[in-house]
Amino acid sequence: MIPVLALGAAYFGVAQASEVTLWHAWRGEERAALDQLVGQYNTEHPDTTVRPVFVSYESLSSKIEAAVPRGNGPDLLVFAHEKIGAWTDEGLILPVQLPAPSDPAAGLHPVTVDALTVREQVWGWPLAYKSLALFYNRALVPEPPTTTDALVAAAAGLRGDDRWGFAWEASSAYANAAWMHGFGGGVFDGQGAVRLDSPENAAAFGFVQTLAALGPAEPSGALLTQLFNEGRVAMIANGPWFLGEVGAVDYGVAPLPAVSQTGRPAAPYVTVEALFLAREGAEARAFAAWMVGDEAAGVRHRVGKQLVANTAVPVTDPRLAAFRTQLDTAVPMPTGEAMTQTWEPLARALRRLVRGAIGPEEAAHEAQIQYTIVSRPSPSEADPTPWLIVGALALVAGIGWVAREAWRAPLARWGFAFAWVAPAFSAMTLLVVLPFLVGGAVSLFEYDQQAWTFVGFAHFVDILLARDFPLTSPLSFWSTLAVTIAWTVANVILHVGIGVALAMLLREPWVRLRGAFRALLILPWAVPSYITALIWKGMFHRQFGAINGLLVAVGLEPVSWFAQWSTAFAANVTTNTWLGFPFMMVVTLGALQAIPRDLEEAAEVDGASGWQRFVHVTLPLLKPALLPAVILGSVWTFNMFNVIYLVSGGEPDGGTDILISQAYRWAFTRGHRYGYAAAYAVLIFGVLVLYGRVANRLVGRKVV
């Protein structure tokens, strides 16, 4: 019906409205402002229909990269400028025309335009910006410090029992960029090369170490919010997102103080949200230009509470005005692969620096070394011809084997059996076999800006020979494998030991409320693992954790759990033991129901002790049910990503990472080395297959 109406309208000369699709991830007030503006624009421009489509922020980038190259994406999209380096190289966005930043009529802050400029072309319309600034409690700090010397003096003077003068995410590379720039350093040198070990950066790290010693231990975003709202921290460095988190506190916002040693202003990174053009169209360009204009920018500021890039919009709130002032000295966050590869090396060095494990110069040097490792050149391209020949021969052999088996078991005779297993076979093929084959194929390629280069076994050789780092390095496959095996063995022993002990206890008739205890003890298994992991993470906090609170209550010193390998490993094992013992308890309880008590009573009459009865009577009868559960639990624990990632985060220095978390980091935090990560995944599969074969022999029958 719709195509017929469209043809009729065209025949009678009725103009059709052009549709402009806009993808965004705005929520709350920002989304309300966008909906208001879209409605107004559609009313004022009946020949154009703008259709906003909400896409969650977590998936927006990946959807853009998947849809736009195939012509299925939007006309416009809203995203932070940090992706334009890769998106321009991949041709996902188109250049736009803006007035020159020096033109007074431009209305757009020059820093926001600079952030969107790559290779002397502007690639988006700047909408809003975000950067750090100084939040201060007026009751404790009537006037904010304007220099770092004054900041340190104020922080030292306000420090007391459970009270601090200044706090920020001290181990965050993003949060410390302001000090690096203020000391004259930064990520890149004057020629655009990454230079993390410059003397200026080392000086900034020295300041970070001094200031961190005056603040709370292990500060996180959630902890900073709590402490500031409780009046226990007088000043924090945070961004505009913090405005909605402040409670009943009389506070102000000011630009970050200037660095006393250099006289330079502390220059934080600024992130610019912009409208990007994904598909050419005059209507899309017209709407985008209107969105950054005075009228629409005013609505986004008043209704959406945005810090808009349009300087013609008056800022009456002094707190927001402080961010406008901070923008004058802010540094646009660099884009591109090199910048992405610096985050983890900087964060790792800063974590060691803040906890006092290394000094400022060593931290800068280690950051540069780590960057060199994760940014090493891709392997050389390999000739795929031999691989294609071997693959073709393997395919022919596979078809021949299937044909031979079909000949031995004709479909006419066994058709009913094939029909029964077909659904399960299809599901396993689609959900397990095909993804594994794709992952195996990816491991033979190197990914670089959406270009795949065949490298053969180069990734496997690099991983197994540890070419880029010593065998004892946390980045080494063999070192990580040793940690993974120790992690698996320790957990399985505790899971089985605690689970069997509780099952033996809960089957005794003299235990009252056995049903209630069974229900309560299975709760750790029922709660999602990531929730449990986050709870335990908080309990292990150095300064505010419940576990250290208990240690202090009994007269012991608090422990910095993630500062050394042994305690971080113990924290991970404790958390996963809590998650894993209920499974073994349930399996054991079920198996115990099938063991006649008469056998144990007969052994007792013969004079066997309780331990002897368990070892020689109960345990042998439990083995048929318990051993398969142990194998399954071992595989689960071997790949227990949630606990490692959320509790210790691999600390200290990646020492508690296991193979699966290392594979994740190579894929997503070390320059998108998808082929290298896929090779890790294939090796993990190989280790588990080998373990399964050995375990099956020990069990005496095939269980996996």
218 and 84 co-located in one domain: no
349 and 261 co-located in one domain: yes
Cβ-in-10-Å burial (0-12, 13-18, 19+) of 443 comes to buried
667 occurs within a structural domain: no
28 and 62 co-located in one domain: yes
The string of DSSP codes covering 280-335 is --HHHHHHHHHHTSHHHHHHHHHTT---BSBTTS----HHHHHHHHHHTT-EEPP-
Task: List, in order, residues 6 or more apart from 115 with CB less than 8 Å away.
Answer: 81, 126, 129, 270, 271, 272, 332, 333
96 occurs within a structural domain: yes
The string of DSSP codes covering 590-638 is HHHTTS-HHHHHHHHHTT--HHHHIIIIIHHHHHHHHHHHHHHHHHHHH
**What is the distance of C-alpha 578 from the center of its chain?**
24
Q: Which residue is it, tokens 């040198």?
A: 189
pLDDT at 637 over 90: yes
Q: Which domain CATH number covers 57?
A: 3.40.190.10
6/11 Cα distance (integer angstroms): 9
pLDDT category of residue 449 using cuts at 50, 70 and 90: low
440 occurs within a structural domain: no
137/510 Cα distance (integer angstroms): 60
479/473 Cα distance (integer angstroms): 7
pLDDT category of residue 638 using cuts at 50, 70 and 90: very high
639/659 Cα distance (integer angstroms): 8
631/625 Cα distance (integer angstroms): 11
46 occurs within a structural domain: yes
8 and 37 co-located in one domain: yes
pLDDT digits (tens, 9 = 90+) for 509-538: 787 887 788 888 888 888 888 899 999 999
Residue 9: predicted pLDDT: 41
16 and 103 co-located in one domain: yes
Q: Which two tokens stand for residue 235?
A: 């000043």
**Comparing C-alpha atoms, which of 278, 340, 282 is closest to residue 123?**
278
Residue 12: predicted pLDDT: 38
Kindly report the average pLDDT of the chain as a whole number: 87
* Beta pairing, strands 48-54 & 18-24: parallel
pLDDT at 5 over 50: no
358 occurs within a structural domain: yes
600 occurs within a structural domain: yes
pLDDT digits (tens, 9 = 90+) for 29-54: 999 999 999 999 999 999 999 999 99
**Comparing C-alpha atoms, which of 436, 332, 339 is closest to residue 672?**
339
386/399 Cα distance (integer angstroms): 20
Q: Which two tokens stand for residue 136?
A: 């201060």
Cβ-in-10-Å burial (0-12, 13-18, 19+) of 213 comes to middle
318 and 345 co-located in one domain: no
60 and 122 co-located in one domain: yes
Of 92-106, 186-200, 317-331, the poorest mean pLDDT is in 92-106
Please tell me what DSSP assigns to residue 216. -
352/136 Cα distance (integer angstroms): 28
Residue 133: predicted pLDDT: 96
User: What's the alpha-carbon Rg for the chain, to the nearest Å?
Assistant: 31
* Last-in-domain residue among 616, 641, 657: 657
Handedness of CA 514, 519, 520, 524 (dihedral sign): positive
pLDDT at 15 over 50: no
Structural domain for 296, as ranges: 2-130+272-332
pLDDT category of residue 384 using cuts at 50, 70 and 90: confident
317 and 177 co-located in one domain: no
Residue 472: predicted pLDDT: 83
The percent of residues in the chain predicted with pLDDT above 90, rounded, is: 49
pLDDT at 488 over 70: yes
* Last-in-domain residue among 350, 374, 398: 374
Q: Is 559 helix (H, G, I), strand (E, B) or coil?
A: coil
Residue 135: predicted pLDDT: 96
62 occurs within a structural domain: yes
455 occurs within a structural domain: no
Q: Which residue is it, tokens 């419940």?
A: 546
- Residues forming beta bridges with residue 126, ordered by sequence position: 274
Q: Which residue is it, tokens 């190989």?
A: 686
116 and 148 co-located in one domain: no
525 and 559 co-located in one domain: yes
pLDDT category of residue 406 using cuts at 50, 70 and 90: low
Q: Is 448 helix (H, G, I), strand (E, B) or coil?
A: strand
User: Between residues 678 and 72, which one has the greater pLDDT?
Assistant: 678
Task: List, in order, residues 6 or more apart from 684 with CB less than 8 Å away.
Answer: 638, 639, 659, 660, 663
* Last-in-domain residue among 620, 642, 657: 657
Q: Is 48 helix (H, G, I), strand (E, B) or coil?
A: strand
Q: Which two tokens stand for residue 18?
A: 């052009």
211 and 295 co-located in one domain: no
pLDDT category of residue 415 using cuts at 50, 70 and 90: low
Residue 484 · residue 124 · CB < 8 Å: no
- Residues forming beta bridges with residue 134, ordered by sequence position: 237, 254
Q: Which two tokens stand for residue 510?
A: 């003299």
189 and 201 co-located in one domain: yes
pLDDT at 405 over 90: no
**How many CA atoms lie within 13 Å of 100's alpha carbon, on the beta-carbon side?**
2
pLDDT category of residue 16 using cuts at 50, 70 and 90: low
Based on the structure, what is the number of domains in the chain? 3
Task: List, in order, residues 6 or more apart from 165 with CB less than 8 Å away.
Answer: 154, 155, 156, 157, 158, 159, 214, 215, 233, 234, 235
425/247 Cα distance (integer angstroms): 56
Residue 259 · residue 201 · CB < 8 Å: no
pLDDT digits (tens, 9 = 90+) for 249-294: 999 999 999 999 999 999 999 999 999 999 998 999 999 999 998 8
pLDDT at 2 over 60: no
Residue 209 Cα distances to 160, 261, 360, 564, angstroms: 19, 15, 8, 18
Task: List, in order, residues 6 or more apart from 25 with CB less than 8 Å away.
Answer: 54, 55, 56, 57, 60, 78, 79
Cβ-in-10-Å burial (0-12, 13-18, 19+) of 523 comes to exposed
Q: Which two tokens stand for residue 396?
A: 């022919």
Q: Which domain CATH number covers 562?
A: 1.10.3720.10
Q: Which two tokens stand for residue 84?
A: 């334009």
Work out the average pLDDT over 316-327: 92
Residue 72: predicted pLDDT: 85
Of 7-16, 98-107, 339-348, 616-625, the poorest mean pLDDT is in 7-16
Residue 239: predicted pLDDT: 93
Residue 703: predicted pLDDT: 42
